[in-house]
Amino acid sequence: MSSSRLTQVLLVEDNPADARLIREQLTEQSWPNIEADAPTVDHVDRLSSARDALTGDTDVVLLDLGLPDSSGVETLNELLAIDVPAPVVVMTGLDDTQVGVDAVEQGAQDYLIKDDVTPRLLQQTLQYAIRREQQQQQLQQRNAELALLNQIVRHDIRNDVAVILGWGDTLKTHVDEEGQTHLDRMLSAGEHITDITETVGEFIDVLKGSDDPELRPVDLESVLTNEI
C-alpha cells in the first residue's frame, strides 16, 4: 500500500455467489468520485491462501469472517498476526453485526454487512480504510520521532548537564570571589536547562498522548490558579 488510490484488492471469501457479487461491485467502471480504473481483485477462499496472496502491492483486504479454515474474530486475529501490509475490512452477515464491531476493536479498519453492500458504499469504505491506515502509520512514525526526541532531551542533555553541575559544585572550593560569581551563574544556567528539559519532556508526552489516560473531574479554577 503506497498511496491512497485503490488499485489492488485481496478478497477472502469462500461463498462463490458472494465472491462473484463483490467482484462485480469492485470492478464496476463507473464508480462515483473515482477518476481511475477499477481495482484488480485477487480472490482466495481460504485464510491459508490469503497469507500467500498478500503482497506489498495489496491496498486493502476484504475478509469474510466465516471461512472453512477459520471463523469469527479469530480469523482476523490470525491474519493480523502475520503483519498484514494493508488495512483489513471484514464482512459479516446481517445477524453478526456485533462480530463486525468486535473485529474493528481488534484491529480491522471497518466492517461491512454483506446484504447492505452497494458499489458506492464499498468504494467509500475501502477508500476510507486506506486513508485511516495511512494516517495511523504517519502517527506511529511521528510518535517514534517524538520518542527519540524525548530520549535526547530527557536523558542525553540532562545527563550532560548533570555532569556540568557536578563539576561546578566541586569547583566551588577552588575559585576566588569573582570566580564564585561566574560559577554561580553557570550553575544557575545549568539548573535552568534542567527545568527546560523537564518542561519539553512533559510537552512531548502530551503530543504523544497516553495509552491509558487518567480522566477525573477537577476544580478548573484552582488548576488555572496554580498554573498561572
- DSSP secondary structure letter of residue 114: G
Q: What is the mean pLDDT of the chain?
A: 84
Is residue 126 situated within a structural domain? yes
Residues 2/13, Cβ–Cβ less than 8 Å: no
Is residue 38 situated within a structural domain? yes
- How would you class 135 by CB atoms within 10 Å of its CB: exposed for 0-12, middle for 13-18, buried for 19 or more? exposed
- Supply angle C-alpha 207, 102, 48, rounded to 5: 105
Looking at residue 36, its amino acid is: A
Chain CA centroid to CA 162, Å: 36
Note whether 13 and 76 are same-domain residues.
yes
Residue that finishes a domain, picked among 81, 102, 137: 137
Note whether 122 and 17 are same-domain residues.
yes
pTM given for the model:
0.65
Domain that holds residue 58: 8-137
d(CA 128, CA 224): 40
Q: So what's the pLDDT on residue 67?
A: 94
Note whether 84 and 18 are same-domain residues.
yes
Residue that finishes a domain, picked among 137, 165, 195: 137
d(CA 145, CA 37): 37
Say which CATH number the domain at 127 has.
3.40.50.2300
Note whether 29 and 100 are same-domain residues.
yes
Asked whether the predicted pLDDT for residue 203 surpasses 60, the reply is yes
Phi-psi region of 79 (alpha: psi -120 to 50; beta: other; left: phi over 0): alpha
Is residue 206 situated within a structural domain? yes
Q: How many CB atoms lie within 10 A of CB 156?
A: 11
pLDDT bin (cut points 50, 70, 90) of residue 93 is confident
Element (H, E) at 62: strand 60-64
d(CA 206, CA 221): 21
pLDDT bin (cut points 50, 70, 90) of residue 4 is low
Q: So what's the pLDDT on residue 178?
A: 85
Note whether 103 and 114 are same-domain residues.
yes
Residue that finishes a domain, picked among 137, 164, 198: 137
Q: How many CB atoms lie within 10 A of CB 132?
A: 13
Note whether 23 and 54 are same-domain residues.
yes
